[in-house]
């Protein structure tokens, strides 16, 4: 380690003692020959309790940044209970203009680490407006970057980004330039530049390189002119490894890998740890900490179960980049000592990476022994995916146990560690949004586990008490300061004009005289919106419509995901629809309606901000999708939720609201699959008197869902929404679009095709094949009857949305009663297993029969508080078959 120089005062002496106790336990395996740790916005030297390195302040240092077009400022971070209370996160360098740090560098490969604590440092630097790019060594490291997005990673206040760059002998200096995006500002808390062992991640000139997945018998060399960004570094099956527990390079190995496992792998796999003696005969001992190789994740102890699934991790990454994936292996189980004891297959991003992985065979010459670490590198191109799928894509890592017992002793697989690096594109760019993690609440490593090996030092309690008092005083002062700023800001406002509309907006959540209801929803500044979407980066697009693009973003310092809809400037009716949607949704709050969070009206923009719906649209789960098919009962629950939302619009508000654009893409699903009706840009207020039963208006809506009576007469009623919802019910049942212009005439309109098939008695032939044998016959009859009644040509003969809700709830009860009756007659095997009778292999009828002697009955309650008793009598005429017979469905 490099020497530590600290002014001899009490607190510094204490930190020095703690540092020596922790870091002095064992000498580092690798000692950097070049190491700069710069504490931005600070003066002097200070030892960090985060990694126990000495950090030098940038004020009056030889690295002091040069500002372009302005001057930078320094700021103290607000009090923090997390890593933000440690150097280098306590101070920051901030600027609304570009600034550059200059460092002398020696030749060779280096780590560059940038430390961020996104916080509101003062009134001029609100964290929600931080948006900037970073360039270094001829590469774009970060582009339109919002550090607040780090909160979605580890549920942590701080963010660390790490890069690997090579410097040639003629490169004497390194410039790191921070450039704010328009309307935003740039900041940095800490910069670390550290040498690394030669070719730790880059390929040796004559080395083997990485296996090029997707290209047979090909290797990929990570050359010295390649820049890498560390995306994931994980101790698989083990606890996080803090920087001071690394091999001397201060890398952090976290978070726990179970966050990335699919559900089955999470439930079945097992974390392992053995105190195996390690022999670094195949790789350098600084490659990864010993703790990484002593822990691992295996498939489990049951070979039969292991054969039935793949142990699978999914790691979200940016599309249109290539990646270096490094897998760390070590056989640590004392029972596995010979080649072929444990053989398995490895698949990465659906490519076959290893058809016969055998760690003992890789690491020993005679095929005997264990405890020998090794790693394998794979080059994974994820190119040309941006046009196919917006947002992040997944690099999957799947381990498959060998199915043949005679080839291996254990039907199992193991992985000990994993690293994933992004490689720069042809323009030298690494910039991209932080990939979206699975919807999880990560466990955050405590400060003690990150910073030390949990030594018990009595003086820590004394120091903690002093620090706590100082923090309380700081928090009170900070809150009083913020309160004063809010009073001052409440007087500022701005006017924006579009065509016939003039909107007065304000920074306050409440305003007087505004034509938009800012007292009921929030007004966002354009800088906040740009920071939330990384300057409207296409990778964040989650939907595209006639209104414009919809982006996923994060507000409130990255803690809140939202959907951001941005109006196209050329939209002819955009301003009117924009105003309508704000006025409608700001007054509506219902479980099954999408909530409006706020809007933005700066610089000619029209932007709406909604609650983010994690599951997307209903259509995303019906057809033209890679998502697994929804179970029938779940489809019914979604339909019921959407119907309740429409029923509230028709009857629950002060005045009837007619949606006018009901379709499967306007029914959104949240994380818990709760359906919510969205997109109120075309909505109309209904009539308030009995003397006027309709609204005369220009026809608006979507073809395939449009009420034919409304189209003919141009008279809008709430029954027009009922017709459109009937088409949605057909989509749910048949899993095909409402309109296919390329299909033959009789199948072009789903509504007409459903009606024709019902008349011909061939309705089973157009149902989604994934529902074969899974719909109770009584439920199917009720559902089809309801859908057809909704699509009646005569609007007055269609049911109300209240009747639709009742009918769908009844259909669900029929389905549940039939399933209960079926399962009550099937013997249970084990505590949680149910044996189901299956249809024959020819794809014929899945006729699940029930006993005619069964006396089971089930009483349920409808939304109208009526009692419905379902008994065997309700199944008469079904020839003993509870579930529908669907044979050889035709092409949908």
Three-point CA angle 513, 518, 519, nearest 5°: 85
Give exposure, 625-638, as e/b (b: 16+ Cβ within 10 Å). Answer: eeeebbebeebbbb
> Cβ distance 212 to 192 under 8 Å?
no
Q: Is 672 annotated as a binding residue?
A: no
The DSSP output letter for 175 is E
| Token pair of 247 as six digits | 């091999």
Residue 379: enclosing H or E segment and its boundaries? strand 374-382
Residue 728 has a CB neighbour count (10 Å cut-off) of 27
- 643 vs 748: CA distance, rounded Å: 26
Residue 685: enclosing H or E segment and its boundaries? strand 684-685
Name the 3-class secondary structure at 233.
Answer: strand
Burial class (CB in 10 A: 0-12, 13-18, 19+), 426: exposed
Which residues are known catalytic residues?
A: 661
Paired residues of 317 in beta bridges: 393
Three-point CA angle 383, 387, 390, nearest 5°: 95
Q: Which residues, at least 6 apart from 78, have a Cβ–Cβ distance to it below 8 Å? A: 119, 120, 121, 474, 475, 478
Q: Which residues, at least 6 apart from 498, have a Cβ–Cβ distance to it below 8 Å? A: 575, 604, 606
CA distances (Å), origin 888, targets 663, 764, 766, 846, 885: 28, 9, 10, 12, 10
Burial class (CB in 10 A: 0-12, 13-18, 19+), 349: buried
The strand pair at 684-685 and 657-658 is best described as: antiparallel
Q: Which residues, at least 6 apart from 837, have a Cβ–Cβ distance to it below 8 Å? A: 826, 848, 849
> Cβ distance 875 to 840 under 8 Å?
no
- 133 vs 178: CA distance, rounded Å: 6
- 517 vs 511: CA distance, rounded Å: 8
Asked whether the CA dihedral 714, 715, 717, 722 is positive or negative, the reply is negative
- 161 vs 429: CA distance, rounded Å: 15
Name the 3-class secondary structure at 819.
Answer: helix
Paired residues of 378 in beta bridges: 211, 325
Backbone angles phi, psi at 790, to 5 degrees: -65, -30
The DSSP output letter for 434 is P
CA distances (Å), origin 310, targets 293, 325, 346, 691, 800: 22, 19, 10, 65, 48
The separation between CA 455 and the C-alpha centre of its own chain, rounded to angstroms, equals 36
Name the 3-class secondary structure at 167.
Answer: strand
Name the 3-class secondary structure at 216.
Answer: coil
Q: Which residues, at least 6 apart from 800, have a Cβ–Cβ distance to it below 8 Å? A: 647, 650, 718, 722
Nearest CA among 223, 220, 140 for reference residue 380: 220
- 651 vs 803: CA distance, rounded Å: 13
DSSP labels for 265-323?
Answer: HHHH-EEEE--PPP--SSS-TTSS-HHHHHEEEE--S-HHHHTT--EEEEEEE-SSEEE
Binding residues: 565
Per the annotation, binding residues for ATP are 565
């Amino acid at each position: 380690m490099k020497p530590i120089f600290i002014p001899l005062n009490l607190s510094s002496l204490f930190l020095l003692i703690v540092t020596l106790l922790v870091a002095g336990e064992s000498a580092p395996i690798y000692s950097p020959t070049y190491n700069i740790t710069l504490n931005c916005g600070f003066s002097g030297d200070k030892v960090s309790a985060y990694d126990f390195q000495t950090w030098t302040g940038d004020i009056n240092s030889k690295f002091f940044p040069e500002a372009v077009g302005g001057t930078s400022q320094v700021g103290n971070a607000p009090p923090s209970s997390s890593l933000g209370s440690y150097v280098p996160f306590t101070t920051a360098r901030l600027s609304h203009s570009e600034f550059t740090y200059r460092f002398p560098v020696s030749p060779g490969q280096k780590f560059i680490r940038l430390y961020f604590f996104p916080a509101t440092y003062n009134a001029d630097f609100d964290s929600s407006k931080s948006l900037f790019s970073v360039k270094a060594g001829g590469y774009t490291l970060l582009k339109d970057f919002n550090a607040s997005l780090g909160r979605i990673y580890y549920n942590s206040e701080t963010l660390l980004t790490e890069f690997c760059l090579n410097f040639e002998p003629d490169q004497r200096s390194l410039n790191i330039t921070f450039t704010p995006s328009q309307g935003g500002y740039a900041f940095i808390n800490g910069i670390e530049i550290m040498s690394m062992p030669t070719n730790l991640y880059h390929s040796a000139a004559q080395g083997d390189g990485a296996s090029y997945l997707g290209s047979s018998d090909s290797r990929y060399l990570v050359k010295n002119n390649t820049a890498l960004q560390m995306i994931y570094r994980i101790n698989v099956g083990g606890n996080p490894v803090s920087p001071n527990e690394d091999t001397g390079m201060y890398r952090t190995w976290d978070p726990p890998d179970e966050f990335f496992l699919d559900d089955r792998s999470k439930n079945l796999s097992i974390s392992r740890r053995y105190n195996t003696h390690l022999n670094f005969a195949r790789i350098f001992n600084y490659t990864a900490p010993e703790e990484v190789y002593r822990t691992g994740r295996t498939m489990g102890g049951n070979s039969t179960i292991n054969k039935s699934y793949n142990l699978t991790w999914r790691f979200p990454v940016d599309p249109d980049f290539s990646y270096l994936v490094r897998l760390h292996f070590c056989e640590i189980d004392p029972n596995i000592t010979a080649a072929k004891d444990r053989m398995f297959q490895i698949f990465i991003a659906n490519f076959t990476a290893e058809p016969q992985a055998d760690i003992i065979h890789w690491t020993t010459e005679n095929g005997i022994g264990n405890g020998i670490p090794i790693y394998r590198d794979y080059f994974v191109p994820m190119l040309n995916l941006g046009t196919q799928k917006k947002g992040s894509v997944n690099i999957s890592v799947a381990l498959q146990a060998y199915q043949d017992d005679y080839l291996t002793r254990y039907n199992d697989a193991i992985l000990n560690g994993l690293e994933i690096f992004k490689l720069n594109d042809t323009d030298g760019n690494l910039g991209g949004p932080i990939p979206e993690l699975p919807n999880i609440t990560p466990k955050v490593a405590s400060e003690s586990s990150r910073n030390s090996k949990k030594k018990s030092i009595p003086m820590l309690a004394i120091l903690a008490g002093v620090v706590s008092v100082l923090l309380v005083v700081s928090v009170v002062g900070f809150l009083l300061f913020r309160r004063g700023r809010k009073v001052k800001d409440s007087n500022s406002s701005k006017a924006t004009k579009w065509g016939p509309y003039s909107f007065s907006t304000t920074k306050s959540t409440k305003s007087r005289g505004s034509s938009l209801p800012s007292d009921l929803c929030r007004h966002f500044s354009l800088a906040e919106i740009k920071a939330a979407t990384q300057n409207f980066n296409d990778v964040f697009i989650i939907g595209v419509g006639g209104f414009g693009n919809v982006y996923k973003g994060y507000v409130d310092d990255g803690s809140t995901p939202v959907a951001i809809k941005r109006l196209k400037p050329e939209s002819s009716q955009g301003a009117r629809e924009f105003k309508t949607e704000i006025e409608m949704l700001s007054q509506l709050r219902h479980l099954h309606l999408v909530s409006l969070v706020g809007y933005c009206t700066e610089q000619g923009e029209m932007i709406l901000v909604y609650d983010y719906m994690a599951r997307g649209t209903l259509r995303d789960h019906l057809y033209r999708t890679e998502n697994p098919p929804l179970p029938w009962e779940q489809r019914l629950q979604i339909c019921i939720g959407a119907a309740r939302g429409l029923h509230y619009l028709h009857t629950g508000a002060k005045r009837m609201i007619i949606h006018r654009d009901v379709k499967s893409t306007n029914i959104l699903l949240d994380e818990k699959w709760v359906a919510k009706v969205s997109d109120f840009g075309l909505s109309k207020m209904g009539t308030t008197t009995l003397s006027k039963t309709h609204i005369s208006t220009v026809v608006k809506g979507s073809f395939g869902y449009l009420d034919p009576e409304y189209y003919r007469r141009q008279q809008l009623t709430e029954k027009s929404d009922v017709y459109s919802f009937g088409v949605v019910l057909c989509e749910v049942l048949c899993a095909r679009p409402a309109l296919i212009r390329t299909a033959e005439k009789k199948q072009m309109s789903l509504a007409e095709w459903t009606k024709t098939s019902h008349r011909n008695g061939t309705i089973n032939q157009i149902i989604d094949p994934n529902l074969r044998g899974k719909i109770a016959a009584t439920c199917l009859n009720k559902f089809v009857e309801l859908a057809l009644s909704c699509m009646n040509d005569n609007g007055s003969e269609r049911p109300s949305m209240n009747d639709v809700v009742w009918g769908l709830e009844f259909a669900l009860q029929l389905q549940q009663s039939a399933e209960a009756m079926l399962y009550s007659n099937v013997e249970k095997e084990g505590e949680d297993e149910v044996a189901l009778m299956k249809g024959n292999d020819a794809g014929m009828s899945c006729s699940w029969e029930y006993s005619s002697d069964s006396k089971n009955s089930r009483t349920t309650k409808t939304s109208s508080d009526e009692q419905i008793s379902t008994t065997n009598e309700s199944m008469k005429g079904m020839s003993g078959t509870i579930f529908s017979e669907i044979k050889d469905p035709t092409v949908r």
